[in-house]
Homo-oligomer: A and B are copies of this chain.
Amino acid sequence: MIAITLTTDFGNEDPYVGIMKGVILNTYPYAKLIEITNNIRPQDISQASFVLEQSFKFFPKGTVHLCVVDPGVGSGRKPIILQTENYLFVGPDNGVFTSVLNQEEFIKAVKIENTDYMLKEISNTFHGRDIFAPAAAFLAKGVDINDFGSEIQKEELVLSTENEVIKKEKSRIGQVKYIDRFGNLITNICADDLPEKLKGKVKGKGFRDLHTSYTTGKANELLAIKGSSNTLELSVNSGNAQKITNASVGDKVEVKF
């Protein structure tokens, strides 16, 4: 009973996600279908990459991670299967798996070409249904990755460029990488090597010291904390850091200590 996870921008209102689930079950009725999220912002490859990066490694080895955020559907971008040390990934070759390859050993990638493992009619607008869902189902069912198509070298894969953190002896300059529903600003600054005593700012709003719990922050004040993935996170105790800073993904975050 292999799990197949879904990470898409198809939303939870339209028929698209239901259709993909139907296609998967029709090929492999025992699939354990797990939604990571279908609410990636439309066509936001970088958000999908972040959500996948945060979640994929908590699933059992062998899980098939299906990720369809695919603005280039119907154009030349390749549909691929990516095999890493512990998982299989299915989706478009548009950079969405960049964050995975920063964390997992690359084993192999193939271009999905074998029409035996696709729906009979291939549309130009919904490869999630016609190509990616069937591929995930056949993989979970045990079909060998080599049967799907020709190999792609790691160097040929489309990778997104990630913003680097500027690290100096007594400072860091990074970015807001993600904002969650609580309004927490998740940054790309590693918190493992930050001291407790520090000062920082984002969008002109200051924060001071590394807290160990949301509850030690003062009302309406930015609170810095080591987030659940060990990066610096800015929050407000019983509040919303996005609202009081008006920050967006990509905004600069500075820390001095």
A residues neighboring B (CB under 8 Å): 1, 3, 5, 7, 10-19, 21-23, 25-26, 29-30, 32-40, 42-43, 50-51, 54-60, 63, 71-75, 123-126, 129-130, 180-182, 212-216, 225-228, 233, 238
Contact = CB atoms under 8 A, between A and B. Distances in A.
B125 A75 contact: no
Contacts of A29: 1, 3, 32, 60
Contact of A215 (B33, B75, B226): B75
A227 B123 CA distance: 7
A10 B55 CA distance: 14
Nearest to A127: B228
Given A12-B39, A73-B214, A1 B18 contact: no
A216 B40 CA distance: 23
Q: Give 7 nearest A-B pairs by CB, closest first.
A: A22-B58, A18-B36, A74-B213, A126-B228, A15-B54, A22-B59, A11-B181
Contact of A34 (B12, B33, B39): B33
Contact of A55 (B11, B12, B22, B33): B22
A138 B185 CA distance: 32
A14 B36 CA distance: 8
Given A214-B73, A228-B126, A60 B26 contact: yes
Contacts of A14: 37, 51, 180-181
A191 B15 CA distance: 20
Given A35-B18, A125-B228, A238 B181 contact: no
Given A29-B1, A214-B71, A181 B18 contact: no
| Most chain B C-beta atoms within 10 Å of own C-beta, residue among A56, A57, A213, A216 | A213
Given A14-B37, A25-B60, A238-B71, A213 B54 contact: no
- Most chain B CB within 10 A, of A13, A213, A233, is at A13
